[in-house]
Structure 1
Amino acid sequence: MKTTAILVVSLSFFTLFSASLVLAEDSIEFAVKPNRELTKIQHNQLDTLFLSLRNAKSAVEAYGHEKEIWRIWMTPKDEKLAALMYTAMGHIDDEQYKEAITTLNMVVSRFPKYAEGWNQRAFAHFHLDQYEESLNDIAKTLKLEPRHFGAMSGRGIIYINRGESLLAKETFIHAMNYHPYLRSRNLLLTIPAEVKELFI
Structure 2
Amino acid sequence: MDSLDDLFDRLRTAASPAEIEALQDGIWQLWLTTAHPLLDKYLEAGMRALSAEEYTLAIREFTELTVAAPEYAEGWNKRATAYYLRGEFKAALRDVAETLRHEPRHFGALSGWATILRTIGDNRGALRVLQRLEKLCPHWPGLQNQLRDLRDTLED
Relative to the length of structure 1, the TM-score reads 0.73
Structure 1 position 61 matched with structure 2 position 19: yes
Distance 1:187 1:129 in 2: 22
Aligned residue in 1 for 2:34: 76
Match of residue 132 from structure 1: 90
2 CA distance for matches of 1:106 and 1:184?
34
After TM superposition, give the deviation of residue 119 of structure 1 in Å. Answer: 0.2
Q: TM-score if structure 2 supplies the norm length?
A: 0.92
Q: Deviations over 1:66-125 (max 9, x none)?
A: 011011100111111011101111111111111100111111111100000000000000
Distance 1:183 1:133, change over 3 A: farther
- The structure-2 alpha-carbon separation of the partners of 1:128 and 1:85, relative to structure 1 and needing over 3 Å to count, comes to same
Deviation at residue 54 of structure 1 after TM alignment: 0.4
Q: Write the deviation string for residues 17-74 of structure 1: whole angstroms up to 9, x where unpaired.
A: xxxxxxxxxxxxxxxxxxxxxxxx8xx7100000010011312111110011011100
Q: Which amino acid aligns with 1:74?
A: L
Q: Is the 8 A contact 2:79 2:95 kept in 1?
A: yes
1:17-96 matched pairs, under 5 angstroms: 45-96=3-54
Distance change >3 Å, CA 192–CA 124, structure 1 → 2: same
Asked if the contact 1:54/1:178 (under 8 Å) is kept, the reply is yes
Aligned equivalent of 2:107? 149
Helix, strand or coil for the counterpart of 1:177? helix
Indicate how the Cα distance of structure 1 residues 57 and 193 shifts in structure 2: closer, same or farther if over 3 A, else same: closer
Aligned length: 155
Structure 1 unmatched ranges of 5 or more: 1-40
**Distance of 2:39 and 2:79 partners within structure 1:** 14
Kindly state the Cα deviation for residue 165 of structure 1 after the two structures are TM-superposed. 0.6
Distance 2:141 2:66 in 1: 27
Q: Distance in 2 between matches of 1:184 and 1:111?
A: 33
Of the candidates 60, 72, 80, which is equivalent to residue 102 of structure 1?
60
Return the alpha-carbon distance in structure 1 between the equivalents of residues 147 and 124 of structure 2.
10
What letter matches 2:93 in structure 1? L
CA-based RMSD: 1.8
Q: What is the deviation of 1:140?
A: 0.3
Structure 1 counterpart of 2:147 = 188
The CA deviation string for residues 113-159 of structure 1, in whole angstroms up to 9 with x for no partner, is 00000000000000011000000000000010000011011110111
In structure 2, distance between residues paired with 1:84 and 1:52? 31
Tell me which of 44, 65, 69 is aligned to 1:111: 69
Aligned 8 A contact 2:13 2:137 in 1:
no
